Amino acid sequence: MTSVWSPSPSPRPGEPLDGDTTADVVVVGAGLSGLWTAYYLLEADAALDVLVVDAGVAGTGAALDGVGACTPDLRAPVDRLVAAYGDDGARDLRAALRDAVVEVGGVLGLEEVECGFRFGGEVRVARNAAQVERLTTLVDEGRAWGDEWRLLDPAEVAEHVASPGVLAGAWTADSAVLDPARLLAGLVGVLRGRGVRFAEQTAPVRVSPRAVVTDRGIVRAPRIVVAAETDAAAGSPSLAAVPTLGLATDALDAAAWDRIGLAPGVLVADLAHLAVCARRTDDDRLVLTATGTRPDTLRAALVAMFPPAAGTRELTWSGTNGVTRDGLPHVTFDEASGIGSVPSFGGAEIAAANLAGRTIADLVTGDRSDLTRLAWVGPGAPAWGRSAPAQVALALRAAAWADSAESLDRTPRTARQVLERFPVV
């Protein structure tokens, strides 16, 4: 599988596991979370024998579907973090996530992974009264959590992006962009160069204390990290599958970009419940993503937010993100069994996966650090019941309903209550 919009070459599948073996640490899943985990395990101890097992091809997980937003945003609003983790826990996690964006850029520079990383910042745009209210909360309450959002009036928004119908905006310098396909390929290359072993096209059948049983043999290891978000689609008890759409236009010409005014490296996102996030690629396309929406809705958002892109050829694709029942990410590590897991981030992955990888590496190597004290380290999310798909569908319908009611300046109380009960977006 290769990225549908990025010009990166398709990764070649590597060798499967060749019978039983041993390792110091087995990482299950060679997506972003697994690759960052392996990277920081070797940073902690270069002599570690790390084996990464993937059911498919290393570096081809859901991140290939991504549009490359590298932000401290977990998609879980701060009030949800505060309710779960307390004031200090939420503040420390926010700070660590902001640092993670910087860390991603630093590692890419250090390891000479060229994937178009740019620290361009992010502009949020509010297009109706309800979105203005959420924007004001974001800016005002964000300060308490160390986030630096600056309120913008429509004229100031237009300095970053010319998008019609914007009532207000906010700006932060804390977000970056990159090409996820090149990031994944680059990380795989770095890890291979450091001696990490990959067993691809190798499906784990069972993860037990000190052993991963696969269809190609058994790997015995004292430490195991499970990092396989796409398991959500396969019915993982802790994750529900939430569909996410992507859209990429053909390259727009200079006149269109003059009218849109968006610089490469800058992210634009609105404050809808099914929020749209967009950016300009290095090859001058517009790429957009939104969770739980339909292709025609995303196309309508493209035209509404960026009229000069109307009429250009575009392609859409869909992927899946795993979402926990409480809508929060959890890093787990059980000392007794030696088994850990890195969380699902509900669609905002690049920086959070980096932080989770660093955190689990510290837990696995026994380094009790500031990271291992972060509030998301704990017992894990409550299991979803069998009705998870129905609950996700209900929440997504409520979100779409709330967005459309808010666009007419109505207050969709019931839909908002459903979203509070099932926090999947």
- Does 63 bind ligand FAD (CB under 6 A)? Our answer is yes
- Please identify, among the stretches 52-60, 129-137, 149-157, 370-378, the one whose residues bind ligand FAD according to the rule CB under 6 A: 52-60
User: Which one, 30 or 221, has the nearer CB to ligand FAD?
Assistant: 30
Rounded to whole angstroms, the Cα distance separating 301 from 295 reads 10
H or E stretch at 319: strand 314-323
- Does 357 bind ligand FAD (CB under 6 A)? Our answer is no
- Does 230 bind ligand FAD (CB under 6 A)? Our answer is yes
- Please identify, among the stretches 6-14, 150-158, 168-176, 223-231, the one whose residues bind ligand FAD according to the rule CB under 6 A: 223-231
Rounded to whole angstroms, the Cα distance separating 363 from 357 reads 10
- Does 229 bind ligand FAD (CB under 6 A)? Our answer is yes
- Residue from 163, 172, 175, 244 that binds ligand FAD (CB under 6 A)? 244
Residues 6 or more apart whose CB falls under 8 angstroms from that of 387 comprise none
Rounded to whole angstroms, the Cα distance separating 108 from 115 reads 8
- Does 172 bind ligand FAD (CB under 6 A)? Our answer is no
- Does 347 bind ligand FAD (CB under 6 A)? Our answer is yes
Q: Shortest gap between Cβ of 165 and ligand FAD (angstroms)?
A: 23
Residues 6 or more apart whose CB falls under 8 angstroms from that of 343 comprise 33, 324, 329, 330, 331, 352, 356, 376, 381
- Residue from 26, 41, 50, 55 that binds ligand FAD (CB under 6 A)? 55
Rounded to whole angstroms, the Cα distance separating 54 from 200 reads 5
- Other beta carbons within 10 Å of 365: 17
User: Which one, 128 or 324, has the nearer CB to ligand FAD?
Assistant: 324
User: Which one, 120 or 412, has the nearer CB to ligand FAD?
Assistant: 120
- Does 169 bind ligand FAD (CB under 6 A)? Our answer is no
- Does 349 bind ligand FAD (CB under 6 A)? Our answer is yes
- Does 66 bind ligand FAD (CB under 6 A)? Our answer is yes
Query: Angle between the 78-110 and 129-144 helix axes, to the nearest 10 degrees?
Result: 70
- Residue from 23, 26, 30, 323 that binds ligand FAD (CB under 6 A)? 30
Q: Shortest gap between Cβ of 409 and ligand FAD (angstroms)?
A: 30
Phi/psi for 108 (5° steps) reads -60, -40
Rounded to whole angstroms, the Cα distance separating 165 from 71 reads 25
- Residue from 17, 23, 28, 157 that binds ligand FAD (CB under 6 A)? 28
- Residue from 32, 130, 248, 392 that binds ligand FAD (CB under 6 A)? 32
Tokens representing 198?
A: 């990959």
Rounded to whole angstroms, the Cα distance separating 244 from 396 reads 11
DSSP string covering 263-311: PTT-EEEE-STT-EEEEE-TTS-EEEEEET--HHHHHHHHHHH-GGGTT
User: Which one, 65 or 403, has the nearer CB to ligand FAD?
Assistant: 65
Return residues touching ligand FAD (CB under 6 A).
Answer: 28-34, 53-56, 60-63, 65-69, 203-204, 227-231, 244-246, 289, 319, 321, 345, 347-350, 353
